[in-house]
Structure 1
Amino acid sequence: MMLSRTADHLFWMGRYMERAENLARLLEVSHAISLMPRSHNGGAEISAPLALTGRLEDFQSRHDGTEPAQVLHYMAYDLGNPASILSALRSARENAHAVRGKISSDMWMSLNASWLEGRKLAEQGEDFQWFFDWVKERAHLFRGATYSTMRRSDAFYFLRLGTFLERADNTARLLDVKSHLLPDQQSADSTDYYTWSTLLRGLGAFEAYHETYRDTLNGKRVFDLLLLREDMPRSLRACFDEIRQALAQIQGDNGRPARRLATELNAALEFTAMDEVFDEGMHPFLRRMLGEINRLGESIQRAYLEAA
């Protein structure tokens, strides 16, 4: 059985690299929606990433108001903010350095280059959109290196656990950026091309939506695609299925509670209909899912990542 300290570094390396990409997507979507003429709540969208990452109070203690450029700089480049993209890249690199013997040289070089280049870009103050695209590209390169060069051992599956637990959390939070700004279910069920297309593009799902539904963008179907579709890589159901499969590959019996919970969450989404989700309310449903994701993370932590 792998040492819990090693498993912890691998798990968090996966989480932090996924988090960097997810933050880029979250900021990209929030900023784009805030610039739209029909933006809800007087531009509250740009402050949503601060609230959803728990950094609103810290940001407000440093700045007057919520100017978009200040929010984006704080969430992208500020190393004093542990929830920034640059902080996530640094943490991913630090965890990788601690387990150099468990990962391939291609993986290490990818992470190390991402941190070094990201730090330079932050100093230069590059255009935010360009930076977000760069972060997404670096995340894709790292995942490609991982999938192509890492042996399918426990180390690989702990990294996968971190990646998909973080992705599930992000999908729920990113959908919540949209849902908590909607006044009622009817708004979520109406057509709002620009905001829905921005959300889909932010999750890399715009083309998949039109391939799947072949009609005008509709809020109910967007949520269906990103919550319940097993064939969408960033849907909640797909993430829970990946977590379930990774847990099944890790040796030992310590993880039975986590495996059971992952299986239950995956099955619950498999047999849930969107009408049931809207009956509960999209915002309450997503908050409940975030609670379940946190509970699953704690179960994994107790089973594998804490020293005996």
Structure 2
Amino acid sequence: MLSRTAASLYWMGRYVERAEFTARLIEATLRLDALSPRPAGKAAWESALLVVAAGCAFAGTERAGDPQAVAGYLTLAPDNSSSIRACLDAARNNAKSVRTALTRDVWEAINRAWLGLRGLSSTGGSEETLALTAMIRAETRGFEGALQRMLRNEAYHFVSMGAAIERADNTARLIDVKYHLLLPEGEKVGGVIDRDQWTTILHTVSANTAYRWLYRDELKPWLVADMLILRPEMPRSLAAATEEVVSHLAYIGKRLGRQGEADRLARRRQTTLARTSIDSIFGQGLHEYLEVFVRENAQLDRAIAAQFRFS
């Protein structure tokens, strides 16, 4: 497989995953914002921007502070590299360049999602925005389903590895922003607003039911963190994403005869997570732990690019 083909497949996986996550984030934030008169709205939208690392860029726009403008910026802004439109543009461009490596169903899922945003200049009101995010989620789920029916070859593993790297980054940022920044000043930890925000986090990663199955307890922040960091049976957890990356690298390395620094970093992270407890994470500081994880995830991403000569 050519290096540029591998790079396009990998980044296609990352961009589709990012588009889906951003759609989920917008939907969850809209629902949290609707819980007025509880004072969560502005903080919720600010946190959504921070999760996708777009806070500084949006602060410089003329409509900073307008919740509907935030939704539009996260959905349609061409100058926001993390907007759903920008992600689907990039995913489609990458898919076009490797069209022969994809099934028809995979290509059509990406193309339908891209077509759904073509020509839109505004997300409209809350109901229209929710409908738009529902459409994006449906198409990205269609992409995931089509991907699962692909031949288990190098193309499948590069796409899936990109998605797993992106998923780990998204989940870590989501937990960090909620725990470290989101609760309004003066509000009680464990209070109504705190509980609503943690519920929103679970909704963003489709984990409300999973939480009840795993813990059979009322919502507790440290248990949410435990599930989203350390529980490998939770598909969007850091542990699950790490295991996926190790598995994909092992397959690709065996088929292409190319192993190296990326394999070492991925296996080291897997071993470290397996030996970590939620008590030790909170002991060193959850924010500090997640900051390190995000940096290491970026380092692993660079190692993958170098190992398979993406550039």
- Same fold flag (TM > 0.5): yes
After superposition, the Cα gap between the structure-2 partners of 1:211 and 1:303, relative to the gap in structure 1 and judged at 3 Å, is: same
Provide, for residues 140-184 of structure 1, a one-character-per-residue CA deviation record: whole Å limited to 9, x for no partner.
Answer: 100101111x21111111111101000011111111221122679
Cα deviation for residue 288 of structure 1 reads: 1.0
In the alignment, structure 1 residue 77 sits paired with structure 2 residue 73: no
Match for residue 298 of structure 1? 302
Match for residue 201 of structure 2? 199
What is the distance in 1 between the residues matched to 2:179 and 2:39?
13
What is the distance in 2 between the residues matched to 1:100 and 1:297?
24
After superposition, the Cα gap between the structure-2 partners of 1:268 and 1:68, relative to the gap in structure 1 and judged at 3 Å, is: same
Match for residue 142 of structure 1? 143
Q: Secondary structure at the match of 2:60?
A: helix
Pick from 262, 270, 280: which aligns with 2:266?
Answer: 262
Cα deviation for residue 53 of structure 1 reads: 3.0
Q: Secondary structure at the match of 1:180?
A: helix
Cα deviation for residue 96 of structure 1 reads: 0.3
Match for residue 53 of structure 1? 52
Count matched residues.
303
Cα deviation for residue 79 of structure 1 reads: 1.9
What is the distance in 1 between the residues matched to 2:123 and 2:296?
40
- Give the 5 Å matches for 1:129-208: 129-148=130-149, 150-181=150-181, 192-208=194-210
Provide, for residues 225-253 of structure 1, a one-character-per-residue CA deviation record: whole Å limited to 9, x for no partner.
Answer: 11100100000000000010000000344
Match for residue 231 of structure 2? 229
Q: Secondary structure at the match of 2:151?
A: coil
> Given residue 140 of structure 2, which amino acid in structure 1 is its aligned partner?
A
After superposition, the Cα gap between the structure-2 partners of 1:30 and 1:288, relative to the gap in structure 1 and judged at 3 Å, is: farther
Is residue 26–residue 174 contact of structure 1 (8 Å, CA) maintained in 2?
no
Provide, for residues 169-227 of structure 1, a one-character-per-residue CA deviation record: whole Å limited to 9, x for no partner.
Answer: 1111111221122679xx76778432222211111000011111112111111111111
Is residue 248–residue 259 contact of structure 1 (8 Å, CA) maintained in 2?
yes
> Given residue 222 of structure 2, which amino acid in structure 1 is its aligned partner?
K
After superposition, the Cα gap between the structure-2 partners of 1:176 and 1:121, relative to the gap in structure 1 and judged at 3 Å, is: same
After superposition, the Cα gap between the structure-2 partners of 1:234 and 1:124, relative to the gap in structure 1 and judged at 3 Å, is: closer
Q: Secondary structure at the match of 1:161?
A: helix
Uncovered stretches (5+) of structure 1, i.e. residues with no partner? none
Is residue 89–residue 114 contact of structure 1 (8 Å, CA) maintained in 2?
yes
Cα deviation for residue 121 of structure 1 reads: 5.2
What is the distance in 2 between the residues matched to 1:234 and 1:299?
22
Is residue 180–residue 283 contact of structure 1 (8 Å, CA) maintained in 2?
yes
Is residue 50–residue 177 contact of structure 2 (8 Å, CA) maintained in 1?
no
After superposition, the Cα gap between the structure-2 partners of 1:138 and 1:204, relative to the gap in structure 1 and judged at 3 Å, is: same
What is the distance in 2 between the residues matched to 1:25 and 1:180?
20
Is residue 188–residue 220 contact of structure 1 (8 Å, CA) maintained in 2?
no
After superposition, the Cα gap between the structure-2 partners of 1:179 and 1:151, relative to the gap in structure 1 and judged at 3 Å, is: same
Is residue 29–residue 202 contact of structure 1 (8 Å, CA) maintained in 2?
yes
Say what the alpha-carbon RMSD is for the aligned residues.
Answer: 2.3
Match for residue 292 of structure 2? 288
Q: Once the two structures are aligned, what percentage of the paired residues are identical?
A: 36
